[in-house]
């Protein structure tokens, strides 16, 4: 996994209310494809592979992961929601919800990497 110390420092500094579940999302995203990297952009952890994949949009009551170009990601991903031309969002209520949505989260990341690798 491509763990970035800047992201570790962000979690230590911000101490978000749902940190445990956010860290699990981080682990799932980075583990879904070894090419995915992370950094801090827009003051929040952001995942990348040949472009920005998704960024946390920290909230107090849920985890919101903004997929910057989510509308382009091929496949059926029921947890990826939104109506616009570009962005999509995946939300999780807590750690149990993250685990319940793990397969879909992994699938979205893998679909992005496959799409970007073939372009």
Structure tokens at 47: 């995942």
The pLDDT value recorded for residue 5 is 97
The pLDDT value recorded for residue 118 is 85
What pLDDT digit, counting tens, does each position of 6-18 carry? 999 999 999 999 9
What pLDDT digit, counting tens, does each position of 25-41 carry? 999 999 999 999 999 99
Give, in degrees to the nearest 5, the angle at Cα 80 between 37 and 116.
40
Q: List CB contacts of 117: < 8 A, sequence separation 6 or more.
A: 35, 50
pTM above threshold 0.85: yes
The pLDDT value recorded for residue 58 is 75
Number of folded domains in the chain? Answer: 1
Beta bridge partners of 80: none
Sign of the C-alpha dihedral, residues 25, 37, 68, 88?
negative
CATH number for the domain harbouring residue 9: 3.90.1150.200
Sign of the C-alpha dihedral, residues 15, 18, 20, 23?
negative
What pLDDT digit, counting tens, does each position of 56-94 carry? 997 789 999 999 999 999 999 999 999 999 999 999 999
| Enclosing H/E stretch for 53 | strand 52-56
Domain range for 44 is: 5-117
Alpha-carbon radius of gyration of the chain: 13
């Amino acid at each position: 996994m491509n763990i970035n110390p800047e992201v570790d420092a962000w979690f230590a500094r911000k101490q978000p209310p749902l940190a445990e579940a956010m860290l699990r999302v981080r682990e799932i995203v980075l583990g879904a494809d070894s090419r995915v990297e992370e950094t801090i952009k827009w003051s929040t952890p952001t995942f990348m592979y040949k472009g920005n994949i998704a960024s946390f949009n920290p909230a107090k009551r849920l985890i919101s992961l903004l997929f910057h170009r989510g509308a382009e990601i091929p496949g059926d991903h029921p947890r990826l929601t939104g109506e616009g031309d570009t962005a999509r969002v995946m939300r999780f209520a807590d750690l149990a919800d993250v685990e319940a949505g793990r397969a879909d989260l992994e699938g979205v990341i893998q679909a992005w990497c496959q799409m970007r690798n073939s372009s």
